[in-house]
Structure 1
Amino acid sequence: MELSELEKKRRRERKDYPYRLEYRTRWSDNDMYAHMNNSIYAFLFDSIINTYLIERCGLDPFSSRSRSPEPSNPQSAISEPLPTSPQIGLVVSSYCDFFASVSFPDVLELGLRVTKLGKSSVTYEVGVFRKGENAVKVVGGFTHVFVDKATMKPTTTGMIPSIRAGLQRLLVSNELESKL
């Protein structure tokens, strides 16, 4: 019997996510029920995705510039003027599936992978784990469409090559996924 998509997500492990980032929860992340407020999950997804785009894909969201990432030192400072990127990424859909609660003062481990990579779009998946625990607490993500900054429409050439190359490194195989 094939597992449902929700059950596949519930069985995710850290190894299913090629890129990881640690997050230390804050007192203000909790809601009145003493668990992490739902809006914070969107913040976490946005943070790990944009950290990856900056560090590994050469995107500079503060000026919408693009640069070639430096594999040996992905966090190196930019020392010369860069051309402005003609594209920006827009979030067109998002989701979040909750399996267990987390709260302050938990330290979380976020995992990132790409589940679909189109010509102009990418669908990300983020797994949220409590540090030291194997069970995934939350699986969520969103879809970015890269568009021309001036027209706000997808380009005929698709996304910038450095972004595509970085995202391809996180792409999971649908064949492998269907066996889970």
Structure 2
Amino acid sequence: MTASPARPAAARGAEPEAAWATVCFRPPRTGAPPREAGLQGGPARVVWRTRSAHGPALVRFDALPVTERGCAYRHPSPCLHPPGRLPCDTHLWADADGPADLREHADVLVGRVPRAVAEARRRVRFLLAEHPGCLAVVVPGFGAGCVVGVRRAAGDPWCAGLERGGPRAPASPQAVASVVHAWVAAGGSPSALRAVVPAFPG
């Protein structure tokens, strides 16, 4: 499947406007930990936390290839390792302020502009209402928190704040959003999550 119209490729080193995210709850124990957690720093190694449990997750990002006809939505290669505590999850995230055709196909929308908590909550609810195919939305707040919204089968969406690490090197909003999507897709309650933080803070 391809999207139209065509758009120029992102500048070298710039974060893409959309990507496939694969979340593994059994990260492979190979190689040195990444210096940065996020799109340009390689896979994001994070720790999810609830009130009574915690565990590792690895979020891999595969940017959509850009062709003359637009972005190609080819699904990334599957994980070859056994599942962890929860099954691996692959989904499409897009910039909440990016092109409409990317947002239309996205499972997760991620804001990049930090907002005050009340404004972030309004933004999350608006994005979920405007994009019925989207399961989760994350909007970063000022500091190291973010506001997360998850669509529910009935009633208003679930919406709450989530910790994403210390102010020096918090987990990226994309990594937080992807872990939330994987958690909910596996049957977990979004209200159980308290934090998604870097496994190796800088």
TM-score, L = length of structure 2: 0.25
Which structure exhibits the higher relative contact order, with contacts defined as CA atoms closer than 8 Å and separated by 6 or more residues? 1
TM-score, L = length of structure 1: 0.27
Larger CA Rg, structure 1 vs 2: 1
